[in-house]
Structure 1
């Protein structure tokens, strides 16, 4: 997904997950840090599938979009990213069982693609700025950014 896709998404189809500076998990502005791993996965599953047609959840699994970001908590971020992926794998595996009487892993690429269309993996992740930097890039050397950075001798 791209930032443009996120901007175009209907607000009910978008789940915004932020792991803030305190390590709290905020989902659409609500603190859900108290949820254990199983309850969080159930929350994601319910958001995507929307079994009771709630207006606060995705209108369909095809339109469900998830945006995830963190502030200096990369390990916690990876954990929640894994939870989300496990939910999608569970959805795809169920669809593969229903449609092809086989597990998702046993399907060929064409069938996997068809199964994924039922609930496409629409996840937007912020890019890690540190990964994009190269150590061999020339660095700018010039005056300090702030007057306070200079110590008079």
Structure 2
């Protein structure tokens, strides 16, 4: 019996975030455009530098924000491939005058070295009683009596995390 290994697909998370803006890639400066196109597998070429990819992402986000303010939420950033998080963190450190917000949601247990130094806000879970009340308000079917307590305990007071990710509720 073989052991399945984790496989990280470089730039998969970045590609997912940039898909709605891919029509703008051709407007980027040639080195940035080529770096992003190679990273996304849209063009053959040498492995692009992370610096160029970071600049390309920054330019792409700034260009999209010229039409309307832009907020990008990177949920579960600790589980995203580092090749994606690094250019996004690069962009987050450099968006100044542009109406762009990059928001990274990271669980405590996650490794978020790429995000070190960015402003942060620690969001606590609900108290046990409130978490049970919130969870009960979204349960759509019968549950064993032990399940709500386990969900509240495992999510440390944030029952929505479990409900959104397991889709059982």
More strand by share: 1
TM-score, structure 1 length as denominator? 0.34
Larger radius of gyration: 1
TM-score, structure 2 length as denominator? 0.32
